[in-house]
Structure 1
């Protein structure tokens, strides 16, 4: 079974985080949501509190087929500034495994140089 991890940071965009989890789980992908903060509870940009499956500190992404970064502000900025996430994304990319990002999320990939010489779509401001 394929396995995906989605990073959640305070300020994530509700639909950009929750719809992919729903769709992937319905299609048989094992998805774990990962809070990058100190709390398992993460608050969306619109004030919805979500309980993540795990904390970043407890995660091991060695079995990840996909790492996913939702958009939303300041959620995407919070993810971009998290050194652990940045390191995990680089290891994933270097291993030739999938990394996905939505809306403002591709800024993380851009700052890591992973979009160089690639076509990508993101929110126009990014």
Structure 2
């Protein structure tokens, strides 16, 4: 089964992340919050702590249906600075699979 991975960094916009996860899970879509920080507990842009389902190192990009990046600052810059995520994004792009980004997060794809 393919999974939608939503990547969460320190300073990511909580509503943009959690609303997406909530809607997809209600629709029965396998969705996982992924921390790019090395810790499952991540603090968003407004000080809300979110517990991710998994760490970046656990992501199997070959099983990714879609990659989702929430916006927020400095969260989008923190996502953009993660080398492993950049490699995963390129794999997803080359495979012709969907990429999504909200608000400030398209800057990650621009890099």
Give the distance between the partners of 2:65 and 2:108, measured in 1 at CA. Answer: 18
Q: How far off is 1:60 after superposition?
A: 1.3
User: Contact between 2:61 and 2:91, CA under 8 Å: does it hold in 1?
Assistant: no
Structural mapping, 1:26-41, within 5 Å: 26-41=26-41
1:17-56 deviation digits (Å, cap 9, x = unpaired): 1000001111111001100012110001100001000000
TM alignment of 1:39-58, pairs within 5 A = 39-58=39-58
User: In the aligned structure 2, how far is the partner of 1:97 from the partner of 1:85?
Assistant: 15
| Equivalent runs, 1:13-92 vs 2, <5 Å | 13-92=13-92
TM-score where L is the length of structure 2? 0.96
Cα deviation code 1:42-101 (max 9, x no counterpart): 001100001000000122121111000000011110000000001100100100000000
Cα RMSD between the aligned structures? 0.9
Partner SS, residue 78 of structure 1: helix
Structure 2 Cα separation of the partners of residues 48 and 42 of structure 1: 8
Question: Which entry has the higher C-alpha Rg, 1 or 2?
Answer: 1
Q: How many residues align?
A: 111
- Partner residue in 2 for 1:124: none
Distance 2:30 2:85 in 1: 19
Would you identify which runs of 4 or more consecutive aligned residues in structure 1 move more than 2 Å? none
